[in-house]
Structure 1
Amino acid sequence: MAASDQNPNTPVRSPVTGIAPYDLKDGEEYMNDAQREHFRTILRAWRQELMEEVDRTVEHMKSEAANFADPADRATQEEEFSLELRTRDRERKLLKKISEALNDIDQGEYGYCKSCGAEIGIRRLEARPTATLCIECKTLQEIKEKQMA
């Protein structure tokens, strides 16, 4: 069992509402069919939520687009649209990570650290379903990034 799974009662906030955390059972094999299906469900639901948000943004920008006579009003609208577009760009990158995670599930590679091969852990994946590094490797990566900055 991974270190991040030692306390199965630790509450975890999933990025998707309405999907209960996975109920770990004693002695259960890591990344078994039920676990893979659980994460596939989370990732698909998350992807659907993001796609719906993209549609809402497009509709909002179409319906709210106006050519204001007042430069301040026009600047405010442009700033609002810019912020929305930056958010959508981050979500576009997240959609790519979600697709990669779904592909990893299909390939049997999901849930294992891309750096060292260790189990990432059910609770960590519940909190961050697109995680590709275990806690130790992610911490090391962040330390290196800080030193390079």
Structure 2
Amino acid sequence: MSSAQKADTHATPFSFTPYQITEGEEYMNEAQVEHFRRILQNWKAELMKEVDRTVHHMQDEAANFPDPNDRATQESEFSLELRTRDRERKLIKKIEESLENLERGDYGYCETCGVEIGLRRLEARPTATQCIDCKTLDEIRERQVG
């Protein structure tokens, strides 16, 4: 195993070795697919650890405080933690969809126009489904409508 592969073993979207592109390399070749598979799988595993941690924390820390202020503080903390986990649950679903696209050979291509999304954009946002141009147009439309 190379040092780059060892460094990428515990990758999250924020800590991985960027893919080194070689000249003339085909887009979304086997090495690139494996690179993104590792990023997505490791990111999902990290999020799942957080879910487990939250469950254990809430079970361990759940107490029926006699003081209403203490009880309210705990409920507020739990509520915030649950909202965060809900956002992460939605992100896990997006990661799973990206892994499915990877298996089908659709990963890395814009779902709107079909062009390559680009390796650096995918490294920055591994669940991206649109190229930067289509995403920008969508955001402009959203602002005009909303």
Same fold (TM over 0.5): yes
Residue of structure 1 aligned with 2:18, choices 14, 17, 21: 21
2:95 and 2:87 mapped to 1: Cα distance?
12
2:71 and 2:142 mapped to 1: Cα distance?
39
- CA-to-aligned-CA distance 1:57-80 (integer Å, 9 cap, x gap): 000000111111111111111010
Once the two structures are superposed, the pairs formed by residues 87-126 of structure 1 within 5 Å of their partners are 87-126=84-123
2:48 matches 1:51: yes
Q: Percent of pairs identical after alignment?
A: 68
Alpha-carbon shift at residue 15 of structure 1 (Å): 2.0
Residue of structure 2 aligned with 1:64, choices 34, 44, 61: 61
For 2:125, the equivalent position in structure 1 comes to: 128
SS state of the match for residue 112, structure 1? Answer: coil
Structure 2's unaligned 5+ residue stretches are 1-11
Give the RMSD, CA atoms, in angstroms. Answer: 0.9
Paired residues, number: 135
Contact map agreement 1:43 1:102 (CA 8 A) in 2: yes
For 2:5, the equivalent position in structure 1 comes to: none
Q: Give the letter aligned to residue 141 of structure 1.
A: D
Structure 1's unaligned 5+ residue stretches are 1-13
Q: Give the letter aligned to residue 53 of structure 1.
A: E
Using the size of structure 1 for normalisation, the TM-score is 0.88
Contact map agreement 1:16 1:45 (CA 8 A) in 2: no
Residue of structure 1 aligned with 2:30, choices 30, 33, 38: 33
